[in-house]
Amino acid sequence: MVLPAFAADEYGYGVKPFDFDESLAKKWKEADVSTPAYPQDADLLAIALPPTDTLKIYVDRKSISRAADYVARFTLVVESPSGARSVFYEGMRCETREYKIYAIGTPEKTFTPVKNSAWQTIPRSEINAFRDYLNRQYVCDSSKSARTPNELLRMLQQ
């Protein structure tokens, strides 16, 4: 018996992969991105983090989106123990475990686009690994795909 993607080895045991023709695969293309309005405090959802984290994080409920490229995008507010805030508009690719910052908030409560922003691996660490935590606990589902905006909003509100 021959499987569609695999064939038996020369002894009839196990399987060996066929030669993959990458030119036949659909290439991933990032969707066009526009920056949302700057977040209002009333629209921020507090995200419960592990007790070892010293930061507080919030997601702007009005900024959550997912385009045809399956990237979850949202405004993230990170607050230090002293109350200093950093605001980012970013995306997460569950399939590759990466994030990208599209814009950064300014003191004037506007966004400044990040020039030449690139996808980066989501770091894993024990303390203040808020992107890793968001990725694993909220943004990505069990099949490593970004949740729909409604699913993500429901998860964040629980």
Each residue of 126-146: pLDDT tens digit? 767 899 999 999 999 988 899
The amino acid that residue 51 corresponds to is P
Neighbours of 50 (CB within 10 A): 12
Per-residue pLDDT, averaged over 49-61, amounts to 91
State the amino acid at position 48 in one-letter form: A
Q: What pLDDT, on the 0 to 100 scale, is given for residue 121?
A: 94
- DSSP-assigned beta bridge partners for residue 146: 140
Tell me the CA distances in angstroms from 151 to 32, 62, 74, 77, 156, one per residue in order.
22, 14, 13, 20, 9
Instruction: Give the per-residue pLDDT at 22.
Output: 65
Q: What is residue 75's three-state secondary structure? A: strand
Q: Average pLDDT, stretch 25-47?
A: 92
Indicate if the pLDDT at residue 1 is higher than 50.
no
pLDDT given at position 143: 86
Token pair listed for 88: 């980012």
pLDDT tens for each residue of 60-79? 999 999 999 999 999 999 99
Question: Where do the domains of the chain lie, and which CATH numbers do they carry?
Answer: 31-157 (2.40.128)
pLDDT at residue 43 tops 90: yes
Residue 5 pLDDT greater than 60, yes or no: no
At position 37, the amino acid (one-letter code) is: A
Answer for the pair 119, 132: CB distance below 8 angstroms, yes or no: no
Q: Is 101 exposed, middle or buried (0-12, 13-18, 19+ CB in 10 A)?
A: middle
**Amino acid found at 144:** K
At 144 the pLDDT is 87
Cα-Cα-Cα-Cα torsion 143, 146, 150, 152, nearest 10 degrees, comes to: 90
CA–CA gap between residue 91 and residue 59 (Å, rounded): 12
Q: What is the pLDDT of residues 79-124, one digit of tens each?
A: 999 999 999 999 999 999 999 999 999 999 999 999 999 999 998 8
